[in-house]
Structure 1
């Protein structure tokens, strides 16, 4: 059985006339009759009842007709499916992201990509930068949104493109401000007010660049950081701040994470900035990835 025989069967089933079916197919009647006979032999049952005047579907042929039609429709769709896969309009994109990206670039990036390529299945996985890099090197995931390592290059197998840089702000327990434990100057927190404050931070093994940026700021302004708790998810860090366990230095986009008992405050003076970018395997020519990289580049901050 082949596609040609299915087309022959459909033509006869729709016309119920071998002559008209042959004309539609651009062939003569004898080879069409032979093709149908060969198909019936392959199936082990007659498809048509033939008389000198009429052709009709057998009960078996009528029952098999919708299945043959569906198979042909799927076959006819294959070239368009191939085109969409080739051009990245269909398929699968596996994207990992750090928790901070969930409140900054991730929502808009995914929205713009989904609008451009609605036929692509997007699989999102939250993970720290170190886990994402390891997964990419192991051949998993297409791309990741990470904080690039500071003071060291990424593995040669990977490619990286910066997307956004944003200042850090302080997440403070609201109760500390009400009780006067912390005082603001013109709505901002003076760096010297950080001295001795309990700090909640990402562990260095998971986000070395972020960790070093925060501890470096504390070292430069108050001699060092008093770290009391580490957490690998930004939601957890903000929850601990809400509980009054300490303060945290977070990207400004975390203001989008509203939490009772937490106030986000700008730092007085120049604030450190955190870069977030996209990383992927060099040489990965997946069409869905190539389209995603183009969307990401279009939305990158110059």
Structure 2
């Protein structure tokens, strides 16, 4: 097995110059050690790389075929120190990014675009997941960074969390309810009591307990008793069910960007609560590339 990159550089120099003396001069060594190095390499490989006589040096067919591979290995080896420094600076690498579905319509697109513009050699692998799945992934090492709705309970001590965005809830209602007079609106908005007795579409509590409790707590405080119409774990699915007239949902106001036909997004009264979206990571396993993404996210949040 070839373990010394110097032997490969010696082979490359002789193969390019086809002269041991000139190759040795280029390498800054004397000819005898170069000849010994090539002989040791041939013995280690068990093949002849050069033919030699007093007048000339030539590559054997094996040596000629091997040359481009050696050239690539030597080139790659020369680039390794630079690559190591770029990895350490977070300029090269992979970030496995989990995100809740609501992030698609708020900060995720701009955040991904900004980081790709600043660090084009960092690969972002995106995974749409509920917050609980992301937290598990952070602890198990299958996710590097998560965009989550924070749970009511404290996170695991190994995880760190920073808020990025807060936005109020709005009511997503079937447009047909408004057109037919089934839902009373005022000044372009809707009161929580007007939604009483209408079916509520919502995340299962096991998947998004913080968001589930935020919605149900608000409706309970407003004394708007509503039956649960259907549960779904993806926000796009919930909005699709609203479009089909199966119920209403309380969603972050950025969901207006979804612009689904048959769905109207209305401000709520009384004053609705805000839902928080933030970034979480494992302090013990964060990579330089992930650390760079976190810095981008926190910088973006500071400009909002």
TM-score band by shorter chain is over 0.9
CA distance in 2, matches of 1:192, 1:60: 84
Identify the range of structure 1 (71-80 vs 168-177) with the bigger mean alpha-carbon deviation.
71-80
1:294 CA drift (Å): 0.6
CA distance in 2, matches of 1:252, 1:132: 23
After superposition, residues 203-222 of structure 1 pair within 5 angstroms as 203-222=204-223
5+ residue gaps, structure 2, are: none
CA distance in 1, matches of 2:214, 2:288: 36
SS at match of 2:193: helix
TM-score for both structures, normalised by structure 2: 0.94
CA distance in 2, matches of 1:58, 1:281: 54
What whole-Å deviation, never above 9, does each CA across 1:41-74 have from its counterpart, x for those lacking one? 2222222222222222222221111111111112
1:277 CA drift (Å): 0.5
Do residues 33 (structure 1) and 35 (structure 2) align?
yes
* Residue aligning to 1:289: 290
CA distance in 2, matches of 1:242, 1:262: 5
* Residue aligning to 1:181: 182
Do residues 42 (structure 1) and 44 (structure 2) align?
yes
What's the C-alpha RMSD, in Å, of the aligned pairs? Answer: 1.6
1:121 CA drift (Å): 2.0
* Residue aligning to 2:197: 196
Q: Check the 8 A contact 1:215/1:224 in 2, yes or no.
A: no
5+ residue gaps, structure 1, are: none
Counterpart pick for 1:105 among 107, 117, 134:
107
Do residues 257 (structure 1) and 258 (structure 2) align?
yes
Q: Check the 8 A contact 1:89/1:119 in 2, yes or no.
A: yes
Do residues 276 (structure 1) and 281 (structure 2) align?
no
Do residues 248 (structure 1) and 274 (structure 2) align?
no
TM-score for both structures, normalised by structure 1: 0.95
Aligned residues: 301
What whole-Å deviation, never above 9, does each CA across 1:190-246 have from its counterpart, x for those lacking one? 333122221111111211111111112211223433221111110110011011011
Moved over 3 A (4+): none
